[in-house]
Amino acid sequence: MQDVEWDQALIEHYNTASPRYTSYPTALEFTSSFSETDFSAAASRYPTRPLSLYLHIPFCHQLCYFCGCNKVVTRHPEKADQYLLHLQAEIRQRALLFKQRRLTQVHFGGGTPTFLSDEQLAGLMALIRAEFRLSDEAEVSLELDPRQFPVERLTALRAIGINRLSMGVQDFNPMVQQRVNRKQDASQIAELLLTMKSLGFTSTNIDLIYGLPLQTVESFGHTLEQILILRPDRLSIFNYAHMPELFAAQRKIKSYELPNPTQKLKILQQTIGQLQAAGYQFIGMDHFALPDDELAQAQRAGRLQRNFQGYTTQCNTDLLGVGVSAISMIGDSYSQNEKSLKDWSSRLLERGSALVRGIGLSTEDMLRRDIIKTLMCQFLLEISAIEKTLQQPFWDYFAEERRLLEPMVQDGLVTITAKRLQITAKGRLLVRHICFCFDQYSRQRASQRAFSRVI
């Protein structure tokens, strides 16, 4: 059976803006009333729950015009020194709340974490081992920019304790690279990936973006052919959302050079066909993995999870975010640090915490969060267990949601019985739109401009 069934007319009909559901409620619902006291209370709610740690490294050597990440572009490596002093202080302060927790996952994101030197990364790992109970089997991952990254550094990263890598490639076409200010060498990327595998890095991931200027079905297909020769364990195929009013760097991209919506859909359709033919399993939204990869195994076993980093194998794990703009999912709450580097560091120095906003989840929020997360990860919702909690028929409680889902039932995107809601192969690409029916907050918003289109 196909992971995804392409239906052009339905995709065009339902391709509206909606959240990516890395959380529910989304970050738009965070408020400044969420306090450090609330965070500490949330940290004590599930004292035996394993912990995942995210470290945001904001620095980049060069600006990529498509990027919407929180970043600081600089050619001065010494700027990282001051940042690391503050980051180390935040790690020590936060670790006090989680001394009894087992740390099972560490992720370095950005920005460009490899902006840091091997010595700086080693220092951070040493601090993490000193302040947390790092599991011997912990997943320690890092996002890597192949530009300005000598292959010899991979040996040092492995020695530090990094065991998983994700590499941003985006596109191999030189003209596309020039338009987004991201020139890179295909042969170097091939050497990096082959070396990663030989050194024992697991679940290597490559990021690609479709919808960039000058991309065509043929050109992106050629990029995929080159990637599939390398056979990474995972692929993330992101949809470029052109939002120049939100991200200043995107104003450097000429909108008339972008593929139109019909062309983007053709690129995605071909991409899915190529990846499925090559044996990759569709995980969800924009993620694919080889069948023997842990991500694919977790999905088949019903253990797949979703958080602010996307899909993950870590089940029932709290997420602690440190660094500028980092987001945490602790207890039944979400919280975020200051977004600007200056405000983050000053708030950390003055108050001992850079937390600036968040939200504590209500019982209703948690119910809907679990429904949305399950649909995003498994494409299937077993209703009976939820009815025991509700103590009433599921569709009596969610009568409005059932009404919203009815057109999708008629169009074959979902099937509904007394016991389950099943997203079909035809509906999997539109899972965000289906989840939107259960999203009380976003449904009530007058505008969805804060969100990207489903595809």
Chain segment 244-260, per-residue pLDDT in tens: 998 999 999 999 999 99
| Strands (E) located in 281-363 | 281-284, 287-289, 305-307, 310-312, 318-322, 327-330, 333-337, 355-360
Cis amide prior to 244 (ω within 30 degrees): no
Q: What is the mean pLDDT of residues 97-110?
A: 96
Type of residue at 336? Q
- Using a pLDDT cut of 70, give the percent of the chain over it: 97
Structure tokens that stand for 166 in this block:
């994700």
Q: 27-42 pLDDT, tens per residue?
A: 999 999 999 999 999 9
Q: Residues 241, 453: contact at Cβ < 8 Å?
A: yes
DSSP reduced 3-state for 250 = helix
- For CA atoms 60, 62, 64, 65, the dihedral sign is positive
* Both tokens assigned to 132: 């947390």
What mean pLDDT is predicted for residues 124-149?
Answer: 96
**Which CATH number applies to 27-319: 3.40.50.720, 3.80.30.20, 3.40.50.300, 3.30.750.210?**
3.80.30.20
Residues of the chain with CATH 3.80.30.20: 27-319
* Confidence (pLDDT) at 445: 74
Query: What integer pLDDT is reported at residue 145 of this predicted model?
Result: 93
Instruction: Tell me the backbone φ, ψ of residue 282, rounded to 5 degrees.
Output: -75, 115
Q: Can you name the residues that pair with 355 across neighbouring β-strands?
A: 337
Q: Hey, how many other C-beta atoms are within 10 angstroms of the C-beta on 284?
A: 24
Domain 1-25+363-455 -> CATH class: mainly alpha
Cα separation, 54 vs 105, in Å, equals: 8
Q: Secondary structure of 46-80 in the HEC alphabet?
A: CCCCCEEEEEEECEECCCCCCCCCCCEECCCCCHH
Identify the pLDDT of residue 374: 95
pLDDT band for position 444 (50/70/90)? confident
Band of pLDDT at residue 314, cut at 50, 70 and 90: confident
Give the H/E segment covering residue 139. strand 133-144
pLDDT tens for 152-207 read: 999 999 999 999 999 999 999 999 999 999 999 999 999 999 999 999 999 999 99
Return the percent helix, strand and coil in the chain, to nearest 5: 40, 20, 35
Identity of the residue numbered 55? L
Distance CA 159, CA 156 (A): 5
> What's the count of helices (H) and strands (E) in the chain, helices before strands?
17, 19
pLDDT tens, 341-361?
999 999 999 999 999 999 999
Length reported for the chain: 455
Sign of the CA dihedral with 352 first, then 356, 360, and 365 last: negative
| Stretch 14-26: mean pLDDT | 90
**pLDDT attached to residue 1:** 42
pLDDT band at 449 (very low <50, low <70, confident <90, very high): low
**Residue 185 φ then ψ, to 5°:** -100, 125
Q: Is the pLDDT of residue 443 over 50?
A: yes
- Which H or E element spans position 209? strand 205-210
Least confident of 200-204, 304-308, 418-422, 447-451: 447-451
* Contact (Cβ atoms closer than 8 angstroms) between residue 426 and residue 446: no
* Distance, CA of 356 to chain centre: 22
What integer is the mean pLDDT of 76-80?
Answer: 88
What is d(CA 204, CA 188) in angstroms, rounded to the nearest whole number? 16
Where are the CATH 1.10.10.920 domain residues in the chain?
A: 1-25+363-455
Report d(CA 34, CA 355) in Å as an integer: 9
